[in-house]
Chains A and B, each alone.
Chain A
Amino acid sequence: MGRFILRRLVGMVAVLFAVSVLTFVIFNVIPNSDPAQRMAGKNATPELVASITEEWGFDDSLPQQYLTMMRKVFTGELISYSTRENVNERIVEGIPATFSLCIGAAAIWMFFGILFGYLSAVRAGGWLDRGLTVLAVTGISMPVFWLAAIFLNYLTYKTEIFPSGGYVELTENPLEWASHLILPWVTLAILYAGFYSRVLRSSMLDVMNEDYVRTARAKGLSERRVMSRHVMRNSLIPIVTLFGLDFGALLGGAILIEGIFGLEGVGQYAFEALSNVDLPPIMAVVLFGAFFVVVFNTLVDIAYAYLDPRIRLGTSAQ
């Protein structure tokens, strides 16, 4: 286990390094990205641009600039080019909204994804299965931005059932916190719930044909026990994989949803930074997201070993 974690830590550093270099390189090769020019404004004199270039170190060699930037990322001194705000502070401010959104939505989609997938598989071929299949495919097919717009139009502007966007701290007013988040949660969860129920259904149908499920029946277990203990446990492995990747990626910011519902989380910050071609926040948000993807990948591997004893972590396997 110790070796496994050590290896994963080394891997994580390598991934973050590669991601940061890529982001940095891409930013420097795209046209019209010279930050000094942008900071100086539309009608800037060459002198002003030159002085900004020197002041911010844009004339250093690229590796030098990269190192400076990475040092600032990890010491929390990174400053946005366009707003001159401290990037790390903005990200920390965005975390509660982003995490509230992701954790709530994940709870909803896991609950319904597993429930619907289970019912579909148990009643495979029947009317319930067909109905749930239509529901799931509809959920997957609806674009998030469109669904969000529909919700906003009918449930906030026309009927005013839910508040229109914004984020209220959980500690400030839990009720308001929830009512502001319900629409974003549901919007986000519908897509994933549909997807997860389809994956679980097919995974369960595979497992239900396994010999060991027949054995379980042959030894006289009740159908409920066969399903819960022998089918579900083995069918959850692909769900765990998906969940680790999706949840990790979402924590890095659900850009569309946060933007549409004005949640002011990390995702919305990423959106602003991208619109302004503002490297420091882009870099920080990308690393922030990559960090969670890597961490959740590692957690998935640990969960695998728990779910399937044939998988052994580290080098202890013979």
Chain B
Amino acid sequence: MSEALLSVRDLRVGFVTEAGRVQAVDGVSFDLAPGEVLAIVGESGSGKSVTAQTIIGLTRSANSRIEGSVRLRGNELLEASEETLQQVRGEQIGMVFQDPMTSFNPVYRIGSQIIEAIRAHRPETSKRDAHRTAIELLDSVGIPDAERRVDDYPHEFSGGMRQRAMIAMSLALEPEVLIADEPTTALDVTVQAQILALLERLNRERGLATILITHDLGVVAEVADRVLVMYGGRVVEQGTLDEIFYDPQHPYTWGLLGSLTRLDRPRLERLPQISGAPPSLLDLPTGCSFRLRCPHEFNRCAELPGLDARLAEAPGHCDRCWLSPEQKRERRLVEGEIGLGEPAR
């Protein structure tokens, strides 16, 4: 994996809160190759956003404890100075956030916020040049009449346009990596598809390596090359898009796939769901963190399974589940479809 652009090893992020210590991310490792789209999938609280924000040092604080290693082209970021990180942010790693409504400062024009990003890294750029670049960027992400709209305030943009502008801003300095943290969650379905198409185009045209964070496997299916499924701060399964979708190994992944709405199957009375709520990070069960919601739990689950490749034919496909591959293939079928099955209790 020497060609990895971004390499995360055994990343652990803990926060001290009033209620106690929370291990938000517990031993996450992955590599991102140039031009690759990696999806990190999981529910709220699975640690996916914290992972993403820790990569560019946004979770650093007196109350957080960060361990492990994050290397960008071999340079360690976790121990980098704040000044170094400021250069990395925007310049080498761009970031797009979930809610485009609140991610722009409401009191400054869209254009001036893009210009600010450019001039923070290239102070020698004249305002006029930066302004022209901002227009080109907005135009390239599909903002109509960018010449005029560049001087609009954020509240004059629609949600979809704001997210386009957000993407434009994150690309202003042509970073090699884009981290998109739930970029479509706050948008209408039709707009979601447009934003995904845009991300895919950027990935294809610019070779932009992308980490796409989402809770929506439907989004993943559209654009991802590889998928990381997270639960309770840990990676529970990882593999290529096809491996995850056609041969899912972890029961949590079955549940996520089973609860997808699909047009190619008969409409069900009720969409299958994963019973229960995600565990509180303050009080994770010992062993497999999913076992309390898993209908297939057995005595071995009290011991934490490692993230290992358990399939001879797919060495890159790893999961954290004690069931044998045969048991998994048998149990994940619910009425002929992939699903978690009914709780045993």
**A-to-B contact residues, CB < 8 Å:** 125, 210-212, 214-223, 225, 229-230, 233-234, 307-310
Contact = CB atoms under 8 A, between A and B. Distances in A.
B155 A217 contact: no
Interface string B94-113: 11010100111111000000
B116 A211 contact: no
A205 to B, nearest CB: 14
A220 to B, nearest CB: 4
Given A218-B89, A219-B89, A220-B86, A212 B120 contact: no
A218 B120 contact: no
Contacts of A233: 107
Contact of A308 (B89, B94, B107): B107
A309 B107 contact: yes
B90 interface: yes
Given A218-B90, A221-B86, A223-B82, A310 B153 contact: yes
B120 A307 contact: no
B117 A220 contact: yes
Contacts of A307: 107
A211 B120 contact: no
A125 B87 CA distance: 29
Nearest to A211: B102
User: Chain B interface residue count: which class?
Assistant: 20 to 34
A219 B107 contact: no
A208 B62 CA distance: 15
A221 B86 CA distance: 6
Given A217-B58, A218-B56, A309-B153, A210 B102 contact: yes
A123 to B, nearest CB: 10
A251 to B, nearest CB: 29
A220 B82 contact: no
B23 interface: no
A284 to B, nearest CB: 41
Contact of A212 (B56, B82, B86, B104): B104
B107 A220 contact: no
Interface string B110-138: 00000011001100000000000000000
A293 to B, nearest CB: 27
A229 B102 CA distance: 16
Main secondary structure of the interface of B (DSSP, over half): helix
A85 B94 CA distance: 73
B58 A214 contact: yes
Given A214-B97, A221-B116, 5 more contacts: A211-B99, A218-B170, A219-B120, A220-B90, A229-B116
B105 A220 contact: no
Contact of A219 (B99, B106, B169): B169
A220 B153 contact: no
The 8 closest A-B pairs by CB, nearest first: A220-B90, A220-B89, A211-B102, A219-B117, A212-B105, A218-B95, A219-B90, A309-B153
B36 interface: no
27 contacts: A125-B62, A212-B104, A212-B105, A214-B53, A214-B97, A214-B103, A215-B95, A215-B97, A215-B166, A218-B56, A218-B97, A218-B170, A219-B89, A219-B116, A219-B120, A219-B172, A220-B87, A220-B117, A220-B120, A220-B121, A220-B173, A221-B116, A223-B82, A230-B105, A234-B107, A309-B155, A310-B155
A6 to B, nearest CB: 26
A211 B103 contact: yes
A212 B121 contact: no
Contacts of B116: 219, 221, 229
B91 interface: yes
B114 to A, nearest CB: 9
Interface in B245-270: none
Contacts of B196: none
A233 B116 CA distance: 15
B307 interface: no
A215 B89 CA distance: 10
Contact of A215 (B86, B104, B107): B104
A218 B173 CA distance: 12
Q: Which of A210, A211, A229, A233 has the most CB of B within 10 A?
A: A211
A309 B56 CA distance: 31
A212 B103 contact: yes
Contacts of B82: 223
A230 B154 CA distance: 14
B58 A219 contact: no
B106 A310 contact: yes
A211 B97 contact: yes
B66 interface: no
Contacts of B166: 215
A215 B163 CA distance: 12
Contacts of A310: 106, 153, 155
B88 interface: yes
B58 A218 contact: yes
A307 B82 CA distance: 30
Contacts of A125: 62
Contacts of A309: 106-107, 153, 155
Contacts of B62: 125
B76 to A, nearest CB: 18
Contacts of B169: 219
A211 B169 CA distance: 15
A209 to B, nearest CB: 11
Interface string B36-75: 0000000000000000010010100010000000000000
A318 B87 CA distance: 41
Contacts of A223: 82
A211 B116 CA distance: 17
Contacts of A222: 86, 120
A216 B91 CA distance: 13
A211 B186 CA distance: 14
